[in-house]
Amino acid sequence: MASLLIRNAAQVVCVARQDERCKRGPEMRELAIIDDGAVLIQDERIAWVGPTTNLPPQTTATHVIDATGKTVLPGLVDSHTHLIFAGSREDEFEQRLQGISYQDIAARGGGINATVRRVRAASKDQLKETARRRLDRLLSYGVTTVEVKSGYGLSQADEVKCLHAIAELKQEHPCELVPTFLGAHEVPPEYRDDRGAYLRLLIDHMIPAVADGRLAEFCDVFCERGVFSVDESAHILDAAVAHGLKVKVHADELSPLGGAELAARFGATSADHLLHVTQAGIEALREAGTVATLLPGTAFFLGLPYAPARRLIEAGVPVALASDCNPGSCMTENLPLIGTMACTQMRMLPAETVTALTLNAAAAVGRSDRLGSIEPGKQADLVIFDVPNYRRLAYHFGVNHVWRVIKSGRVVVGA
């Protein structure tokens, strides 16, 4: 007996066909749509998908959802967030509107280190409760899997505190969380006159402690002028790989420093931002098979040029989209709105954004073998949107079209 049956959906957008684990180039437009579709769920897994008229004879279920006029997608995956933080930075938002740059604000003691001060003063439970509210909002927009970075502690004790908060939320919240260590987010003020000492702390103490405690799956580094150079980033990532952590890179966000090439050299799971990626960087990402995770909400919020999505897609680089939810440069949990920004500002097609928010985003966190598409055998993470087709999501923007969210076969929103 199936535990859940969704039937009569205007569209079931499967995204992938059997065994597709990442899409690139023209494949990103191919969504494997089933009209008048149905999905049969047994326990936590998808048991069958196809036209409602082709449901297996004598199909029964303990719960049936009539999705007439609605569209079913895989659960959305937000593959780049900074959800563990305290306080807010709307004062900096206003300063930027007055013409002060992000870099100048940071030089005055704002930016990342402003949040670091607040995170260090907060307890683990305080960090958890504010992050829980953000996760609730993400879930309400159809996000069922979320990558969450540390990076606002910048001391061993405070980074571990943040990672413990992520670990506890992972057990308590319906969203599936993917923990990433980002101790290399910035050099904290107490080490500004001795960068080498902070690098030694990261490499010799923080990374081993995080790996030994199994507190993170990935190690990320902000490879950028004025933050961590390519050589410094490489030393950090060498240590991460030696301790069994997988690699992500904040690459070429504010300048064409070579972060994409660095990510490719390490076989990074994803290279993120890429506003200033060079053609050489694009070719390196393609050869490495690294997912390019683009964050148009950040360019929108900071008033920066957008990443070259069309060049990346046409070069055959797999592209994902994510929110970059954080207090300084992109304060939103509305991931479908990020899809609209990708369409209007980066000229991505609606079908490409669906792929980028599902299958390719799952690949960007190493989970596309079980998440990101509607296929028999995959985990039953689904969203039912109250729209007649997938294109309506990007077209009718800024509102929440979610009707039901299903995580691991259980209705967690709209029950």
Cα dihedral 278/280/282/285 (nearest 10): -130
Cα separation, 35 vs 389, whole angstroms: 10
Statement to judge: residues 177 and 65 lie in one domain: no
Residues 60 and 206 reside in one and the same domain = no
- Helix, coil or strand: residue 47: strand
Same domain, 91 and 54: no
Q: Lowest mean pLDDT: which of 26-35, 54-63, 190-199, 335-344? A: 54-63
Strands 4-13 and 64-66: parallel
Confidence of residue 109 (pLDDT cuts 50, 70, 90): confident
* Residue 140 confidence class, pLDDT cut points 50, 70, 90: very high
Inside any domain, residue 354: yes
The answer for residues whose C-beta is within 8 angstroms of residue 2's C-beta and 6 or more apart is: 40, 41, 42, 47, 59, 60, 61, 62
pLDDT in tens, 330-375: 999 999 999 999 999 999 999 999 999 999 999 999 999 999 999 9
Same-domain check for residues 103 and 39? no
Mean pLDDT of all residues in 49-72: 95
C-beta of residue 251 within 8 angstroms of C-beta of residue 282: no
Of 293, 400, 414, 297, residue with least CA distance to 356: 293
pLDDT band, very low/low/confident/very high, at 58 (cuts 50, 70, 90) = confident
Q: Look at residue 388 in the predicted model and tell me its pLDDT.
A: 98
Percentage of the chain with pLDDT > 70?
100
pLDDT band per the 50, 70, 90 thresholds, residue 32:
very high
Residue 368, in any domain of the structure: no
pLDDT at 238: 98
Pair 301, 256 in one domain: yes
β-bridge partners, 291: 270
How far is the first Cα of the chain from the last one, in angstroms, to the nearest whole number? Answer: 21
CATH number of residue 30's parent domain: 2.30.40.10
Residue 105 — very low, low, confident or very high, per pLDDT cuts 50/70/90?
confident
Residue 325's pLDDT is 98
Q: How many CB atoms lie within 10 A of CB 372?
A: 33
Which residues have CB under 8 Å from 115's CB, separation 6+?
A: 85, 86, 87, 89, 152, 327, 328
Domain containing 302 equals 77-363
Residue 90 lies in a domain: yes
Both 45 and 177 in one domain: the answer is no
Please check whether residues 400 and 258 belong to one and the same domain. no
Are residues 280 and 395 part of one domain? Answer: no
Q: Are residues 314 and 177 in the same domain?
A: yes
Q: Are residues 131 and 274 in the same domain?
A: yes
Measured distance CA(17)–CA(37) in Å, rounded:
15
- Average pLDDT, whole number, for the chain? 96
Find the length of the chain.
Answer: 415
The structure tokens 């994510």 sit at 322
The mean-pLDDT minimum among 57-66, 163-172, 223-232, 339-348 falls in: 57-66
CATH code, 224: 3.20.20.140
Tens digits of per-residue pLDDT, 275-333? 999 999 999 999 999 999 999 999 999 999 999 999 999 999 999 999 999 999 999 99
Q: Are residues 103 and 31 in the same domain?
A: no
For residues 196 and 47, membership in a common domain is answered with no
**Number of structural domains found in the chain:** 2
Supply the pLDDT for residue 404: 98
In a domain, 261, yes or no: yes
- The pLDDT score that the predictor gives to residue 211 is 98
Residue 103 pLDDT greater than 90, yes or no: no
The closest of 92, 99, 77, 69 to 8, measured between CA atoms, is 69
Position 18 pLDDT exceeds 90:
no
CA atoms of 154 and 147, how far apart (whole Å): 19
Query: What integer is the mean pLDDT of 229-239?
Result: 98
With bands split at pLDDT 50, 70 and 90, how would you rate the model's confidence at 150? very high
Q: 348 or 102: which carries more pLDDT confidence?
A: 348
pTM of the model: 0.97
pLDDT band at residue 245 using 50, 70 and 90 as cut-offs: very high
Mean pLDDT computed over 218-228: 96
pLDDT class of 2 with cuts at 50, 70, 90: low
Pairing type for strands 410-413 and 71-74 reads unpaired
Phi, psi of 294 (to 5 degrees): -100, 145
Mean pLDDT of the 268-272 span = 98
Would the pLDDT of 1 be above 70?
A: no
